[in-house]
Every structure is written in C-alpha cells, then in structure tokens.
C-alpha cells in the first residue's frame, strides 16, 4: 500500500503563481511524513489535493496504483482532518454517529466513546460544536478523522488547540497505530518538536516546491566544546566523530562508538569545556 505523487502542481485561477509545483513524493505503508514549511508555502494545498478537496492543475496522485481523480471511493480508508467538517447544530455524539452513517461505516460505532475520550470530548458529547472554542472544534474534527481507524491519515495542523496532555495522548496513539497497524500518515505542523516525536521523515516545502526531504535523526548527537584546539586525538578518524570549526567535537552516539574511551582521553587532556545534546534542528530549514 503506497501513496505516490507525481509531478503535482496547483495554480488557483485567482493567482499568477503556483501554490504547489512539480511535487514528487511516495509514502509507504506505516510511514509518517511530516510536512513543514513557512506560512503560505503550500502544505494545506498539498494535503487538500491528496484528499480530493482540490483538483490538481497538472500531475497525478495514485493510491495503491489507482489514480484518485479517475475513480470514486479510492479514499475510503483515509482519515482526513483538513478543514472543520462537522455539523454545528448536531451534538458531538450525533456528529460522530452521522459521520459513520454517511460513510457507511456503522461497524465503528463502538469506537465512538474511546475516540472522544482520546481527544477529550467525551464529557462534552451532548454539546453542539457550533459553540465550541477553536481548540475544541479542532478536537471534534480530529475525532471524526480517527474514529474509523483509517489506513491512511491526512492531518493538517492536528496539534493546534490541544493542551499538552491532549498532544501527548494524540502522539501516543498515532505512534502506536503506525507501529501495530502500519498506518501511514502525512501531518503538516509548525510544532516541530511534536513532529520530531512522531515522524520517520520530513519534507520541507518552500514557495510550492518540495525543497528538501529530511531523514529523522535517530541517534543522539553530542557536541563537546573543547578547551583548546587539538588535532592529536586518537579517535578523530572514526566515522562517528567530526571536528567542527570552533573546537567542537560532534559525536554520534551509536553502539559502535566507545564513549568511555573518548571521554577518558578528553578528560585526561583536560579538553572538556562543555557538553550539549544536539537536537534534530528542523527549525534550521526555516532560516534562509
């Protein structure tokens, strides 16, 4: 099961520029791809094209080898949270029931309570989302996207409006789903820390173009600031070690590296000034 995007472009008639241009991407089963980029970069446009909420100007999107714009019901197993799609005059519970009826998925009725509990709306199940706060509306949309335990999730800014406990619960369930049920996900977010907990890789979109594909950094990287310049350390040749400008040693903490030996040598020579853990700095992609 894969999603494959070929040469995808979208230009809105009102604009003289492309909101998305020549994007190529493949998402495999169980993969979680984070979509990052500045405001207006084209992330939502991309997700809407995949969700069939927009039609491409050019290009093709295939799911399991089927062109989604040439056949009906290809997205049946997708859970989509892009724009708020509930009925403000129905209660939360009625919205959930109606959604399942509309999609002919009544077999998931038993999931309603646990899904509403997950997003923190079970207590509010008899209220109408029309009067909800922004965050609660987001959670309603999220509950609808999750209730059918879909095979593929498209989530646009799912963490916005959730409190820290809600974010933690959501990350937990999405991680579990990707592992145990191999659900694939594309998630756009400005909350880079949350994405980093979840994603296998990221794509950085800039002015409608897929600028960079970024692998998730799985190993901890340590930066050791040295007290003085040195070129005589015995471990400088190992592939996990890099000497950076400014007398900084970068160490990738893999099993293959003998940290005890390295720290013993550095300590013996009084070379350790400070140590920091280097984060996977997704935010660096936003600097240019």
Ligand X SMILES: Nc1ncnc2c1ncn2[C@@H]1O[C@H](COP(=O)(O)OP(=O)(O)OP(=O)(O)O)[C@@H](O)[C@H]1O
Q: Residues in the site for ligand X, rule: CB under 6 A? A: 12, 14-15, 19, 37, 39-45
Cα–Cα distances in angstroms (integers) from residue 230 to residues 75, 227, 242, 244, 267, in the given order:
58, 9, 12, 11, 13
Q: How would DSSP label each residue in 48-87?
A: HHHTTSS--SEEEEEETTEETTTSTTTTTTEEEESS--S-
Closest to ligand X by CB, 45 or 148: 45
Q: Least separation, in Å, of the C-beta of 46 and ligand X?
A: 7
The smaller minimum CB distance to ligand X, of residues 46 and 152, is found at: 46
Q: Is 218 exposed, middle or buried (0-12, 13-18, 19+ CB in 10 A)?
A: exposed
**Nearest C-alpha neighbor of 129 from the set 83, 82, 167, 84:** 84
At its nearest, how many Å lie between ligand X and the CB of residue 193? 17
**CB nearer to ligand X: pick between 53 and 173:** 53
Minimum CB distance to ligand X smaller for 42 or for 150: 42
Instruction: Report, in Å, the least distance between residue 137 CB and ligand X.
Output: 16
Closest CA to 54 of 104, 15, 19, 25: 19
Angle at 225 between CA 222 and CA 227, to 5 degrees: 150
Contact 251, 241 (CB under 8 A): yes
Smallest gap from Cβ 41 to ligand X, in A, equals 4
CB of 67 to ligand X, least distance (A): 22
Give me 249's structure tokens.
Answer: 């040693």
Query: How far is it, in rounded angstroms, from Cα 287 to Cα 208?
Result: 17
CB closer to ligand X, 39 vs 180? 39
- Which C-beta is closer to ligand X: that of 203 or that of 271? 203
Tokens of 19: 């909101």
> Min. distance of Cβ 211 from ligand X in angstroms?
12
């Amino acid at each position: 099961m894969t999603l494959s995007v070929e040469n995808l472009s979208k230009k809105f008639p009102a604009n003289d520029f492309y909101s998305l241009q020549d994007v190529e991407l493949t998402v495999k089963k169980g993969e979680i791809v984070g979509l990052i980029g500045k405001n207006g970069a084209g992330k939502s446009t991309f997700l809407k094209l995949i969700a069939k909420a927009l039609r491409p100007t050019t290009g093709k999107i295939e799911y399991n080898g089927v062109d989604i714009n040439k056949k009906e019901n290809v997205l049946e197993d997708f859970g989509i949270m892009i724009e708020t799609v509930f009925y403000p005059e129905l209660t939360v519970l009625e919205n959930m029931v109606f959604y399942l009826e509309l999609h002919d998925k009544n077999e998931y009725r038993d999931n309603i309570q646990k899904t509403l509990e997950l997003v923190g709306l079970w207590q509010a199940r008899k209220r109408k989302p029309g009067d909800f706060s922004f965050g609660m509306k987001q959670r309603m949309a999220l509950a609808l996207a999750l209730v059918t335990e879909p095979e593929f999730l498209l989530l646009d800014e799912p963490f916005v409006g959730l409190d820290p406990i809600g974010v933690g619960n959501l990350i937990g369930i999405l991680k579990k789903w990707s592992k145990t049920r191999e659900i694939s996900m594309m998630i756009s977010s400005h909350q880079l820390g949350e994405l980093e907990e979840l994603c296998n890789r990221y794509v950085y979109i800039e002015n409608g173009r897929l600028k960079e594909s970024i692998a998730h950094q799985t190993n901890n990287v340590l930066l050791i600031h040295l007290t003085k310049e040195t070129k005589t350390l015995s471990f400088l040749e190992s592939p996990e070690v890099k000497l950076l400008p400014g007398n900084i040693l970068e160490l990738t903490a893999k099993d293959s590296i003998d940290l005890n030996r390295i720290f013993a040598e550095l300590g013996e020579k009084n070379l350790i000034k400070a140590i920091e853990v280097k984060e996977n700095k997704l935010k660096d992609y936003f600097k240019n």
